[in-house]
Structure 1
């Protein structure tokens, strides 16, 4: 497994822990629909959070949250819509981004709620 895959897996695990520590219930990880994939689907009360996790090492200079472009947003919305409809859920859907940056063996995590709107 490449270093970027290791950091990505570690980042998703840290994001899950972060969400659980804040009262979210993890519904699904790596949900796929057609060409779309969501990293984490979590629920807290009547809010379903579709969470995109972006993890980078210290030597990555670009703003991490900027890695979620219009195409990725379209795919996330498509996957979320399919999930909500297939599960017949009556919930508010929110799109979050969790960024994780590895710095000399420690991790900085930022949870951006309502990172974008789907309409």
Structure 2
């Protein structure tokens, strides 16, 4: 596996651990719909939360959460819609971004942006 894939997987592991410490119930990781995926799907106090995880070794060039482009928001919206339909979800839905800055050998920073964007299709 390429180094960036290893860092991304590590970042998702960190995000899941962080969310569980905050009381979230993790439903799925890397849930796929066609060529789209949802990094983490969780429940937080009765709300379905779709979490996009962005991991960077550093933020020298840009903040990690700026990597969620309008195209990515559209893709997440389509996948979330499919998820809700497939599982018959009737909860409120929120879209969050979690950024992980660092790498497994370094101290890292975890930031969560709740209600980071509104979905659109």
- Does the residue aligned with 1:116 lie in a helix, a strand or coil? coil
Deviation at 1:44? 1.8
More strand per residue: 1 or 2?
1
TM-score (norm 2): 0.92
Deviation at 1:108? 0.5
Change (3 A) 1:59 1:85: closer
TM-score (norm 1): 0.93
Deviation at 1:59? 6.4
Report the RMSD for the aligned CA atoms in angstroms. 1.5
Tell me whether 1:24 sits opposite 2:33 in the alignment: no
Structure 1: segments with no counterpart, 5+ residues: none
Spell out, residue by residue over 1:43-102, the C-alpha distance to the aligned partner (whole angstroms, 9 max, x if none).
123201100000001264212111110111111011111111111111011000000110
Tell me whether 1:105 sits opposite 2:116 in the alignment: no
Would the aligned equivalents of 2:98 and 2:111 in 1 still touch at CA under 8 Å? yes
- Paired residues, what number? 119
User: Hey, what does 1:117 align to over in structure 2?
Assistant: 118
Runs of 4+ that moved beyond 4 A = none
Structure 2: segments with no counterpart, 5+ residues: none
User: Hey, what does 1:65 align to over in structure 2?
Assistant: 65
